[in-house]
Chain A
């Protein structure tokens, strides 16, 4: 297992480098020069060159990329052109907010989709199944920004149950207040995953219920509830671990929109502004960071899957000698 994790970590390096190259190329191809943020009327050419040098914007694309990469390996993601602060510091300040939102969304999607998926699977083609399926399809197909606005209108403006945005009430520093502000954005961010997980668990439940071991257990007189909780549930939930890892990508992308609509001070909003400002060190920092979160999320899912399923673990050990 240890060797497998090490191997996966080593595989990370070329992937991250490839992503950084593509990101760099895209930023370079984008119109507008980041140095324009700093050039002022009346500056001499030498002064402009000095600024370019200070922010690593001089030279051709290979030189710029090489310099950036060397700094990254030294633990320096550069300095934001617009905010004049280290990129790592800016991301670090807002990262907990985004992780909190993403974590809550993932948690919400799991605790809601598991019972719904199981119930729908058990009640295949009955009213409950049809209702849950309808809601799931809605969750998959409705764009998050639209759902976010609907949630704000209903739960914030009409019912006044939750705030329309922000992370906390002024002068209030309680965890409860934080959670109160997080309910709507986390719920909207979780909707897509919730719907996908529900469909997946439903389908798995139906498949598992038709398996021989279930039929044998029932024919031996084991209660349906016991069969469900002891055997079916475990086998249904295993693939969800992988699915959750893969769907972290959706959470990262979703945080862009959700953080903007709910004024949540996370890295998604930071990145949105960085793109508008052509703040290339910050864009690169955010891209790298998201890339690593995605890859680590998938790695974590694989490892958890192996921990939960001995067959996978044995397979890994065999493959890695």
Chain B
């Protein structure tokens, strides 16, 4: 009996090993047919214009919805939906790149009325024509509070919602309640949804089936979604800007960095992000990879909790700003200018109206010592919090701790996960009311500014609620209003540049680093250097495989 049992076990084991071998073979053979597999190194160019499969890892274990109705500020979800859903257009400092839309014109002098025209040759992935009704429908979905979507912020400016109305099949009239300088940037980035798929219902949060059909407008259409593993997109042949070169784009759900690195080296993914100097040097010197460096339009900053009694004192904030050496922070925490450059003010150089004449804070230890003593900074330890999952934050915190020691200020560091960190940092903004929170004094965080108007994501720095967390002087608030509601380019430029100076004079934050999005890609992929937008990638037509 036992002998039989052992025999059965041995046969099973042998079968497993043989099957494993078969699996490997079958995987390779199918890959060479389709030009796609989990191993990029064995990918063969095929099909029209090169073919191949481009595999992009994202740092999350799950994607709640394949239709991007709730992706505002979520880089991973934006990356997951980008191959399938095109934006209307993209405004950057240097140009406007048109996608689904072909024009946006003001129709009045008050800055509150616009007309946008979309292209006439657009189709959804199910073949239905894309019309102005779809744009209006999408705006209404984003405005529908029942969807509890962060993306409502792309159609709400200064707390005031916009409205949209179809003028004809291809024209949409948009009305703002008040002028807002970031409207053009924000509105263009919206990825629209098909009205017919959701039968015109704007509350789509619970319509999981249709959300995950992912009927989009981009160069790739959904082929399959493997829960918790990958989203596979295949080329959409009727794409309005021509056929993509790649056969497939795969979004791989892979939050573990070491897993990403092993997968890249094994050819199972095509690229990954690099955030430290050691890895940058390693891949830069390896001929199998190409390193791309994209200015991220992000500001990493040190902020002060305005509810902390000590931080209300401008002398205390000034002492800290003068004690810190931003060059040493960037060199120590990031490693080189390829990964980040010292920041000068709250804008990044990729922002519209960036004030490039400003030099940032200059270290002055003696003055900082005097101010620290005067303001009482030296009398108790400061509590400094940072978000552990964000790259370079821990290293930054440690350097700040060392530099403040030089002026006699003791700093206690505490790394927190997102669920704990953000409710501290944005307490008033999140809860909509003043929240007593004196548990921290200093914090470092990062802010994505999307290459465009300073007000795009800076609205959280103004208004009464913000004053409960960060310091915003009356002068700053006034300049925010003037700049964001200015009607001419000249006025906007003047006010935004003044605002940058004013915020530095307020010592309302310490600008630390403007980071670069550095990616390492397997050398067979080309065209990644043309992707001048973060989060990557805006235009998959430019990516090819050789």
Contacts and interface: CB of A to CB of B under 8 A. Distances in A.
Contacts of B229: 166-167, 263, 265
A93 interface: yes
Interface in A276-308: 276-278
B51 to A, nearest CB: 13
A261 B258 contact: yes
Interface stretch (B16-24, B103-111, B369-377, B446-454): B16-24
A87 interface: no
B418 A174 contact: no
A265 B266 contact: no
B159 interface: yes
B227 interface: yes
A179 B23 contact: yes
Nearest to A169: B27
Given A36-B430, A170-B232, A265 B150 contact: no
Contacts of A233: 2
Contact of B266 (A85, A164, A273): A164
A43 B156 CA distance: 12
Contacts of A42: 156, 159, 432
Interface string B67-95: 00000000000000000000000000000
Interface in B385-403: 389
Given A33-B423, A36-B422, A156-B266, A172 B62 contact: no
Contacts of B36: 170-171
Contacts, number: 200
A167 B252 CA distance: 11
Given A179-B19, A265-B253, A48 B263 contact: no
Interface in B242-268: 248, 250, 252-256, 258-259, 262-263, 265-266, 268
Interface string B216-229: 00000000001111
A172 B12 CA distance: 23
B282 interface: no
Interface in A10-56: 30-33, 36, 38-45, 47-48, 51
Interface in B174-203: none
A242 interface: no
B290 interface: no
B429 interface: yes
A56 to B, nearest CB: 15
A262 B229 CA distance: 11
Contacts of B460: 41
Nearest to B206: A84
B145 A43 contact: yes
Contacts of A93: 227-228
A180 interface: yes
A183 B228 contact: no
Contacts of B145: 40, 43, 47
Contact of A111 (B13, B148, B205, B228): B13
B3 interface: yes
A32 B420 contact: yes
A170 B37 contact: yes
Given A260-B255, A270-B61, A45 B432 contact: yes
A314 interface: no
A20 B320 CA distance: 47
A246 B208 CA distance: 39
Contacts of B3: 229
A111 B9 contact: yes
A125 B232 CA distance: 55
Contacts of A41: 153, 159, 429-430, 432, 460, 465
Contacts of B19: 175-176, 179-180
Interface in B410-452: 416-420, 422-423, 429-433
Nearest to A182: B20
A194 to B, nearest CB: 14
B141 to A, nearest CB: 14
A94 interface: yes
Interface string B274-315: 000000000000000000000000000000000000000000
Nearest to B161: A42
A160 B296 CA distance: 35
B271 to A, nearest CB: 15
A279 to B, nearest CB: 9
A261 B259 contact: yes
A36 B2 contact: no
Contacts of A33: 423
A83 interface: yes
A152 interface: yes
Nearest to B418: A276
Contacts of A211: none
Given A164-B268, A265-B227, A277-B419, A172 B30 contact: yes
Contacts of B64: 82-85
Contact of A179 (B20, B248, B252, B416): B20
B27 A180 contact: yes
19 contacts: A36-B423, A41-B432, A41-B460, A41-B465, A45-B433, A83-B62, A83-B64, A84-B206, A94-B227, A156-B262, A157-B265, A163-B268, A164-B268, A166-B263, A170-B37, A172-B30, A229-B2, A229-B3, A277-B418
Closest 9 interchain pairs by CB?
A176-B23, A265-B228, A180-B23, A32-B419, A169-B27, A164-B262, A176-B22, A177-B23, A273-B61
Interface of B: 2-3, 9-10, 12-13, 16, 19-27, 30-31, 34, 36-39, 53, 55, 60-62, 64-65, 145, 148-150, 152-153, 156, 159, 205-206, 208, 226-230, 232, 248, 250, 252-256, 258-259, 262-263, 265-266, 268, 389, 416-420, 422-423, 429-433, 460, 465
